[in-house]
Amino acid sequence: MGSSAVALEDIPSVDIMTELLRRMKCDSKPDKRLILIGPPGSGKGTQSPIIKDEYCLCHLATGDMLRAAVTAKTPLGIKAKEAMDKGELVSDDLVVGIIDEAMKKPSCQKGFILDGFPRTKVQAEKLDEMLQKQGTKIDKVLNFAIDDAILEERITGRWIHPSSGRTYNTKFAPPKVPGADDVSYFGFLRVFRPSYLVFDFLNSQNYLPFMADKKILSWGLTWETVWKPEREGLSMHSLNPYSLS
């Protein structure tokens, strides 16, 4: 089962009771399959760990899965690397195949958070076809809709520690020491400057038309509301990939 992804013999004895209690908690949770959609800076990366820990899910981010497959030199990872080395986009079929492989891992057996995929109708249809073969389906889709002004403020205030990828925000999640990474304490932070602005991101892409009020980004939000429609300004819907325009 998904809550037993780590072997007990690999856990220090002082932590075994904590791990057993965690597994009991996970076993009592219903299986969940969730999609998060939204532009960079909308809060997906902040909220994903909260949902993951609360419901014992695995977090599937397309970029992370691609890099892991390439590093592991899986058959699909080798094909993906060939495309990337040529400067080509990785095909939808390859991405869905890599997602399929990731979903079969023990850590995903209680469910998953799919971060930033699908983005188009074709991707949604391919994902739906793959899930049908697994005999499962998406439970909820959450679109992190956000005002342009708020998004601009978050992006321009973002700092990154290049060697680790840890990110901070000067207003919402500042480092303990200005300009220094919380873990290494070295002043290697630099302003995060994306290569393009994403203020029209949702309108320019074929995204699912499901909206989440910006209240969703309030810290301390109880994620039980995610599974209940029309709570706290949140509109949640089951995925229908064929409803994309």
Question: CB atoms < 10 A from the CB of 180, how many?
Answer: 16
- On average, the pLDDT of the chain sits at 70
Q: Decide which of 3.30.1330.10, 3.30.1370.10, 3.40.190.10, 3.40.50.300 is the CATH code for 31-147+198-243.
A: 3.40.50.300
Report the 10 Å Cβ neighbour count for 245: 7
pTM of the model: 0.62
Residue 177: helix, strand or coil by DSSP? coil
Q: Where are the domains of the chain?
A: 31-147+198-243
The tens digit of pLDDT for each residue in 138-196 reads 888 777 777 777 776 777 777 777 655 677 877 778 888 877 778 766 655 554 443 33
Nearest to 217 by CA among 73, 101, 43: 43
Which DSSP letter does residue 176 get? S
Q: What does the alpha-carbon distance between residue 178 and residue 31 come to, in Å, rounded to a whole number?
A: 41
> Omega into 118 within 30° of 0, i.e. cis?
yes
Is the Cβ–Cβ distance between 70 and 77 less than 8 Å?
yes
Alpha-carbon gap, residue 73 to 228, rounded angstroms: 41
- The token duo for 122 is 């074709």
Q: Are 93 and 31 in contact (CB under 8 A)?
A: no
